[in-house]
Amino acid sequence: MAAPLLTLRDIHVGYGGHPVIDGAELIVGEGDRLCLVGRNGSGKSTLLKIAAGLVEPDRGERILQSGVTIRYLPQEPDLSAFPSVIAYVEAGLAPGDDAYRARSLLLSLGLTGDEDPRSLSGGEIRRAALARTLAPEPDILLLDEPTNHMDLPAIEWLEDELKRSRCALVLISHDRRFLTALSRSTVWIDRGVARRIERGFAAFEDWRDEVFEQEERERHKLDRKIVAELDWLRHGVSGRRKRNMRRLGELHGMRRDRREERKAVGTVKMAVGEGDISGKTVIEAKGVSKAYDGRAIFAGLDLRLRRGDRLGIVGPNGAGKTTLINVLTGILAPDGGEVRLGTNLQMVTLDQKRESLAPTTTLQDALTGGGSDQVEVAGSYKHVIGYMKDFLFGPEQARTPLGVLSGGERGRVMLARALAKPSNLLVLDEPTNDLDLETLDLLEEILADYAGTVLLVSHDRDFLDRIATSILAYEGPGAWVEYAGGYSDMVAQRGRGVEAREQAPAAAGKPAPAATSAEAPRAAAKRKLSFKEKHALETLPKTIEKLQAEIAGLQARLDDGTLFGRDPAQFQKTVARIDAAQGELAAAEDEWLALEMLREELEG
């Protein structure tokens, strides 16, 4: 086995006397693809900063192999000290690094390099930071939430770029699809300890549940042993004093271990306050149009949203998704056409930028509205401390100003506020920002059971697949088309995912910004199949044949009636592989069919 590039050994970090990281270990080898997962506040970002050499642990050892280069992407990049984006990116290059690659990455990410950092949006800052991190092609890439504030075209571009990279990768993200595509090993930070499996994120949740179940069994066995020893203490102390003192000491040790045991962090408990039933038609738009500065956001849009629908809106940054939902919900008036809202609507909105959270407001006042210690949830009142606990906040945080909370904690506050109000229409603009995976799971369950209607803007492909019943997708300037199903269904029907927005024509004398790699196909007068699509068309038939042959071989193995009796474990493994291979075959056939239809359409 090759020597590890980076080793963190017995790392300890604590804040205010509370251990956040308690003896964690991390080994990064050549070509590793690691994802770090864990609750918000579990210490993932701290461990990544220690790996980058930016933070010193309270105790522990960081060993970096001689000559190994590391680049780190922070959650909140700071460009304020640089006059331009290209100056910021080139400052991250070492002697001998390729300056041309820095400029090339910026162009691929939709930036020229001449932009003033003070005028950048959150997504543009993230793109500039990614270019600075990727340009040197280091031995190890440490990426902390690289998809935050990124639109779908940029996320998919980054996914492809990292797949091609030969760097070792350590990744923190809440985007399940992104983690599944890139990880080959998973490191779980739980109660201060780093546990590792040599499988990607797709296997994480089953593994985590197995760990919790085993811990519960061990806890139950310890409880039973303590009860037995207590019964001995009350009724059976006699005879040899030395032996009894030893046994009594062991009992005290078991009770101490039970008291000090760090249980799994509790789960978020959410209950949505459902209002009265709305009318059958919730929103109806006829011939609606809206434009800004001569640029059409949407034109001639017809849309009907019925009670119980879950409409996902997708498109690149700048396409006008937030404007669209504001017009559909009556906050903005359209330039033309008509928007009719249904009867008896009770709308609750979760805004994208958490703008309604004043930084000086305390957590208790944010949840109660101020001047009370009660929160109304689903028509009944609950004490604010109990409601805070449902969202993993301690009683001591009641008077904490919101400005000092982490991004994930602010996200939970917004959910707590929004879900407490009675509603039959939920408008969610990027609700998944900064939420940990467990909170996302529960939000998905709640939305699945929600009797009302959901209007959702998101760049999270997995979340859209799980929630949306239809997708309204940006198709170009002013054009939006609705597709049945989730994000993957939309891709199958369109033959492609969301593409970057076309840039407006350059003003006289000014060069137009370079198109991103996702925009390039659209810049042509007529779209052509991309290299990736052509390659898939050529290789998918072989993949389909291989899967069909594998399924036939596995089925032949099952036809042996003695297999179950001889080897039950092998029988179950074969059945599971057949199910998985059949799923892969169906997906490959669907993808080939969609691409073949697209090819015929473009060539016809």
Question: What average pLDDT score do residues 431-435 get?
Answer: 77
Beta bridge partners of 164: none
Domain boundaries, the chain: 6-205, 281-494, 531-603
**Phi and psi based region of residue 549 (left: phi greater than 0; alpha: psi -120 to 50; beta: remaining):** alpha
CATH class of residue range 531-603: mainly alpha
Return the percentage of the chain with pLDDT > 90, whole number: 34
Residue for token pair 């500039």: 128
Task: Write the burial class of residue 11 (CB in 10 Å: 0-12 exposed, 13-18 middle, 19+ buried).
Answer: buried
Per-residue pLDDT for 187 more than 80? yes
Instruction: Name the 3-class secondary structure at 36.
Output: strand
Query: pLDDT at position 252, please?
Result: 59
Task: Report the mean per-residue pLDDT for the chain.
Answer: 81
Q: What is the pLDDT of residues 33-52, one digit of tens each?
A: 999 998 777 788 899 999 99
Question: What average pLDDT score do residues 372-400 get?
Answer: 82
- Least confident segment among 280-284, 431-435, 535-539: 431-435
Per-residue pLDDT for 193 more than 90? no
Instruction: Name the 3-class secondary structure at 341.
Output: strand
The Cα–Cα gap between 477 and 123 comes to: 20
- The values of phi and psi at residue 359, to 5°, are -65, -25
Confidence bin at 578 (pLDDT 50/70/90): confident
CATH topology match: 6-205 vs 281-494: yes
Question: What average pLDDT score do residues 468-485 get?
Answer: 92
The Cα–Cα gap between 332 and 312 comes to: 19
Question: Domain 6-205, what architecture?
Answer: 3-Layer(aba) Sandwich (3.40)
Question: What average pLDDT score do residues 293-303 get?
Answer: 89
What is the chain's Cα-based Rg?
Answer: 28
Confidence bin at 577 (pLDDT 50/70/90): confident
Q: What is the pLDDT of residues 352-370, one digit of tens each?
A: 555 566 788 888 888 888 8
Confidence bin at 569 (pLDDT 50/70/90): confident
Q: What is the pLDDT of residues 119-128, one digit of tens each?
A: 888 888 999 9
Question: What average pLDDT score do residues 68-96 get?
Answer: 93
CATH topology of domain 281-494: Rossmann fold (3.40.50)
Per-residue pLDDT for 436 more than 50? yes
The Cα–Cα gap between 57 and 216 comes to: 31
Model-level pTM? 0.67
Per-residue pLDDT for 524 more than 50? no
Beta bridge partners of 11: 24
Per-residue pLDDT for 340 more than 80? yes
